[in-house]
A and B are shown apart, each in its own frame.
Chain A
Amino acid sequence: MAPPKNRRLGFSRRAHFGLFLGYVVAIGAALIAVLLLAISIVDPRGFAALRGAALDVTAPVAGAGRSVGDFFSGIGESISNYWQAGSENAELKQQLADTRRELIRSQALEYQNRRLNALLGLARAAQDEVTIARIVGSSYDSPRRLATLSAGSAAGVALGQPVRSPDGLIGRVIETGRWAARVMMITDGASNVPVRLVRDGTPALAVGRGDGTIELRTLEVGQNPFRRGDILVTSGVGGLYPPDIPVAVVTSSENDSAVARPIADPSRMDYAIVLRVFQPAAAGPLDTAAPQPIAPPIAAPPPPTPRPGQQNNPRYQPGLQQPQPGMMAGPPAPAAPAAAPPR
């Protein structure tokens, strides 16, 4: 159906006015949107209540559908497994032998590590779990990599808490509802995880690239210590992520940059463990993070006033005048007056 040549709406003033009003409202809405966007950018935690409520409504439905999604993604995998079974078998045997040797070596190292730790008197802080929840969905069309978690503030989940799967680090909580939370995955472009190389302890920063990979940035310019297959774990620097959670495997390392793949495969992970923030003071933004509460100095008791006879004693020491345990401080308090005899 061809529209009329011009968009004149006839002589109806009401129709003209309606069209004009439509544009005014639309432009006004766009300006308000700019304002909202500016607020969202300056303070990403704004509108938390509204967004948390929306999260609560949408997450359970996604959770119910997740098993269906798992079923379909499982089909392709089983077919390809069937075709690759033969060559995989030989490869796996080789890997098993390698792994067994590694295991023995690491057990020896662990024993040594325990002994050295005990020697140093280091008690490793217990990695407290807040809760275990399911990953029920994620962003799929935006450059952000956000996942939805099926537990919220009702289960103790709070902003900033790290989230891991049994395999490795997933990310951290950036929004909470009552029964659902949103997690920024480590592949998100805004995620920075302080890591270190397992091989030699070189510190680095793992920054997401948005496409399922992670870029590794060393802290020293002009050095590229990464080799293909290197494993990175969290270093605990920054206080947010507990140390020694596996993060990524290096997949390619060129002259200046290294790219890694997360060890916790986002498309396969279903259960996630929410951990406590390693050092709670690190959770908040800098301006709101309260300084560590410093205990007020305990007021020293006022020096006892010397009794008249002590004024001239050259050996008088005020510190010794404190009542010591087992010492009678003064004359016993007068006994309560005897009850008046009954009349």
Chain B
Amino acid sequence: MSRIAGSETEVAIRDLRRRYVPLVSTVAAILLGAMLPFVAISPWLPNLGFLVLLTWRLMRPEIWPVWAAAGFGLLADIVSGAPLGQSTLLWTAIFLGLDSLDAWMGVRDYWLDWAAAGAAILFHSVGVWYIALLMRSDVAFWIMVPQLVMSVLAYPIVARLILALDRWRLAR
């Protein structure tokens, strides 16, 4: 691809790409997560939509306002069969928490990034488990541990994918 846009259309296309790649990739991950075509015996796969959203937030804190998490969460609740309000609440809380973390810490390095993601994933798992408990699904927390570990381990992989996507998004 040429580094210089050749026409107005090309400029418009690049502008669209720059603006909407994070949004479209997150919505796609949420929808994909709701349509995985197999039956899981116990929770062990990471929540794809949540992981992609979290990665975008940690990598590019400036692209979304805080309340964007509520919109994504509502969509995720509607399509995934979770009680309505679950992801809306948890994801907004996580965004608010990360904002205050950024205000407090300033710069984050790779390990701190992973630690922040791990803390957010832990909070999310505990929240989901507690809400299930309120819905009278009385299960032990340890059944969430495989899913928790898989999510924390998947974060660096997803981060690399999102980084590649981000490079493509901003490529000139």
* B41 sits at the interface (CB 8 A): yes
* Given A51-B81, A141-B45, A211-B143, residue A190 in contact with residue B88 (CB < 8 A): no
Contact A37 B144, beta carbon cutoff 8 Å = no
B137 A211 Cβ-Cβ under 8 A: no
Instruction: Check B85–A33 contact: CB distance below 8 A.
Output: yes
Given contacts A3-B106, A141-B46, contact A266 B37 (CB under 8 A): no
- Complex CA gap A23/B34 in Å reads 29
Determine whether the beta carbon of A33 is less than 8 Å from that of B129. no
- Let me know if B15 is at the binding interface, CB within 8 A: no
Kindly state whether residue B134 has any CB partner on chain A within 8 Å: yes
B78 and A50 contact, CB distance less than 8 A: yes
Is B41 within 8 A of A147, CB to CB?
no
Contact B67 A36 (CB under 8 A): no
Chain B 100-125, CB within 8 Å of chain A: the 1/0 string?
00110011000000000000000000
B96 partner residues in chain A, CB cutoff 8 A: 23, 26-27, 30
Number of A residues contacting the other chain (C-beta, 8 Å)?
70
CA distance A116 to B138 in the complex (A): 42
Q: Which of B81, B84, B95, B143 contacts A143 (CB 8 A)?
A: B143
What is the CB-to-nearest-CB distance from B104 to chain A, in angstroms, rounded to a whole number?
Answer: 10
Q: How far is the CA of A199 from the CA of B140 in the complex (A)?
A: 30
B-side contacts of A309, CB under 8 Å? none
Cβ of A300 < 8 Å from any Cβ of B?
no
Residue B40, interface by CB 8 Å: yes
Shortest distance from the beta carbon of B98 to any chain A beta carbon, whole Å: 12
| CB within 8 Å for A266 and B67 given contacts A34-B89, A51-B84, A141-B33 | no
Contact B132 A138 (CB under 8 A): no
Asked if residues A33 and B73 are in contact (CB atoms below 8 Å), the reply is yes
Flag whether B25 is at the interface (Cβ < 8 A): no
In the bound complex, what is the Cα–Cα distance between A136 and B84 (angstroms)? Answer: 22
Once bound together, how far apart are the Cα atoms of A64 and B70, in whole Å? 30
- CB-CB under 8 A from B66, the residues of chain A are 22-23, 25-26
How many chain-B residues does the 8 Å CB contact rule pick out? 58
In the complex, whether B42 has a CB less than 8 A from a CB of chain A is yes
A58 contacts B35, CB within 8 Å? Answer: yes
CB pair B92 A30 closer than 8 Å: yes
How far does the Cβ of B62 sit from chain A's closest Cβ, in whole Å? 9
Please give me the residue from chain A that is nearest to B64 by CB atom: A22
Scan residues 29-64 of chain A and give those whose CB is less than 8 A from a CB of chain B.
29-30, 32-41, 44, 46-47, 50-51, 54-55, 57-58, 61-64
CA distance A211 to B137 in the complex (A): 12
- Determine whether B135 belongs to the interface, using a CB cutoff of 8 Å to chain A: yes
Q: Is the CB of B107 within 8 A of A266?
A: no
Q: Which residues of A contact B40 (CB under 8 A)?
A: 138-140, 266-267
B162 proximal to A (CB < 8 A): no
Contact B129–A175 (Cβ < 8 Å): no
Instruction: Pick the residue among B34, B67, B86, B147 that contacts A22 (CB under 8 A).
Output: B67
> What would be 10 A-B contacts, judged by CB atoms less than 8 Å apart?
A26-B65, A26-B67, A26-B70, A26-B96, A30-B88, A65-B37, A137-B35, A141-B33, A144-B132, A189-B136
| A interface residues (Cβ-Cβ under 8 A, vs B) | 2-3, 5, 7, 18, 22-23, 25-30, 32-41, 44, 46-47, 50-51, 54-55, 57-58, 61-66, 68-69, 73, 135-148, 175, 182, 187-190, 207-212, 266-267, 269
